A = this chain, B = another copy of it.
Amino acid sequence: MAGKSLEMYYDFSSTNAYFAAFLAPALCRRMGASLVWKPFYLGHAFRLRDHSVNRDHPPGKLEYLFKDHQRWSQRTGLPFNRPTTFPIKTSLALRGSVVMRAQNLEETYIQAVMSAYWVRDENIAEAEVLARIVGQLGADGDDFLAQVDQPGSRDEVVRVTNEGIARNVFGAPMFFIGDEMFWGKDRLDFIEDLLQADI
């Protein structure tokens, strides 16, 4: 069977993508669907439209959103701590996803980097931090550092980001089942319904 696939545009800087990075794989396993990870450089998309998370939210909204994330944490059992630096530069971490895909460690890497940032407040903008995480996954950190600097990983992130922008990805996580687009971790129940109906 070809089966259904769910595409997920994510960035490490998105709290919602953090939760979804654990919830979506579980959902896909349950539904027998495959998950296609799309490393999307949200900072680039935001800059294109001159959007700033800290500047454009009304006072108090960010505070509310972090409270809401705490509630999601309680509901899902996924730990969550507000990071010191937010937002954070993620281009290197996203390029790392491309590198780890080739080693069949893409999902493990994504979840490990998400947890490093959203649980343990680690500085995932730094190459050494990423290399250490990669080492903990049993891969070669030095090899990772060499590959993440190659144009190939950068080009792939640029390609996916432009592809996403062309598909109207304006936030993260953004999911697609075929042409049906769903925004946010809040829509996993809608996604489940559609996967159920279609498979």
Contact = CB atoms under 8 A, between A and B. Distances in A.
B75 A168 contact: no
Binding site of A, secondary structure by majority: helix, strand, loop or mixed?
helix
A61 B63 CA distance: 23
Contacts of A49: 58-59
Contacts of A186: 186
Interface string A164-199: 000010110000000001010011001001000000
Contacts of A75: 190, 193
Please tell me how many copies of the chain the complex holds.
2
A170 B61 contact: yes
Contacts of A183: 64, 68
A72 to B, nearest CB: 9
A159 interface: no
Interface residues of A, number: 22
A168 B56 CA distance: 16
A39 to B, nearest CB: 20
Nearest to A174: B64
Contacts of A60: 168, 170
A168 B64 contact: yes
A190 B61 CA distance: 18
A132 interface: no
Interface of A: 49, 51, 56, 58-61, 63-64, 67-68, 71, 75, 168, 170-171, 181, 183, 186-187, 190, 193
23 contacts: A49-B58, A49-B59, A51-B58, A56-B56, A58-B170, A59-B168, A59-B170, A60-B168, A60-B170, A61-B170, A61-B171, A63-B168, A64-B168, A64-B170, A64-B181, A64-B183, A67-B181, A68-B183, A68-B187, A71-B190, A75-B190, A75-B193, A186-B186
